[in-house]
Amino acid sequence: MPELPEVEVSRLGISPHLQHQTVVKVIARQRQLRWWIPDEVITLTQQPILAISRRAKYLLLTLPTGSIIIHLGMSGHLKVVPTTLPAEKHDHIDIVLSNGMSLRLNDTRRFGAVLWQANEQEHPLLALLGPEPLTEAFTVDTLVQACAKRSAAMKLVLMDNKVVVGVGNIYANEALFKAGIAPQKPANQVSFAQLSLLTTVVKETLAAAIVQGGTTLRDFSQVDGKPGYFKQELLVYGRGGLPCVSCAQPLQEIRLGQRSTVFCRHCQC
């Protein structure tokens, strides 16, 4: 599943094409994605795009009457194409723009979503989200408070969107390695110093991934079709059994929360 850097890269990629444009209409070839695309989206017409933003892993296109919410799901990706370009098999929805281009969602598995948020309302999917990791809202104090009474594995707490949004499996593995924290360690046993370092490396790791263009996943590419280039710099994710880059001991791979978790028993405690 695309993680926060991939979604941010998508936002950066589509923004120049959508700024100062008007949504002429919406074409839905398949309305049943993860959820049914609501009528409020399908009936949009002649609505100027006021902003293109991101909340966690959701993209928001703000219009005068509300916002289109887009989630890429497991395999979705966005592309900006001429409206006249014939749709491919899994091109499910076009947001037709006034410049003759369309924002097109391709989603092979149909686990993505296109939803609607009316003005002065907050969609239930967004209502309980925690702070954005790349903002000043995410601090060591907020992380300490979240961990204080929780005995769950530190990795699972870090991936909890109520604690901090957008730290998915890949970047949780990477950040915990850089902070020297064992992923299975109970969150309430992690020291203040470790949590302080973890807060810093989460920000640094996500920011670096955005600059590099997002992590290349099997089903992910940027809006322009070019893959991301951050995967080559991953230190632990996907490297189970290989030598640790710090101590050369074999990296361990276990399952936590049904997700692959790779770490170094020597460097992380």
Q: Is residue 218 flagged as an active site residue?
A: no
| Known catalytic residue at 259 | yes
Catalytic residue among 3, 6, 8, 174: 3
With beta carbons less than 8 A apart as the criterion, state whether 34 and 73 touch. yes
The three-point CA angle 37-42-48 to 5° equals 120
Tokens standing for 221? Answer: 């590419």
Task: Give the number of other CB atoms < 10 A from CB of residue 120.
Answer: 6
Residues pairing with 54 in the sheet = 59
Residues forming beta bridges with residue 59, ordered by sequence position: 54, 70
Tokens standing for residue 255: 């399952």
Ligand-binding annotation for 104, yes or no, is no
Distance (Å, rounded) from C-alpha 51 to C-alpha 20? 9
Residue 231 appears among annotated catalytic residues:
no
Distance CA 217, CA 55 (A): 21
- In whole angstroms, what is the distance from residue 75 CA to residue 86 CA? 21
Active-site hit among 2, 5, 133, 183? 2
Cα–Cα distance measured from residue 78 to residue 16, given in angstroms and rounded to the nearest whole number: 14
Confirm whether 104 is a catalytic residue. no
Q: Which of 11, 54, 57, 79 is catalytic?
A: 57
Q: What is the dihedral of CA 185, 188, 194, 200, to 10 degrees?
A: 100
150 is in an annotated binding site: yes
Compute the distance between CA of residue 38 and CA of residue 45 in angstroms, rounded to an integer: 14
Whether residue 239 is annotated as binding a ligand: the answer is: no
Give residue 203's Cα distance to chain centre: 14
Give the active site residues.
2-3, 57, 259
Binding residues: 90, 109, 150
Binding residues for DNA: 90, 109, 150
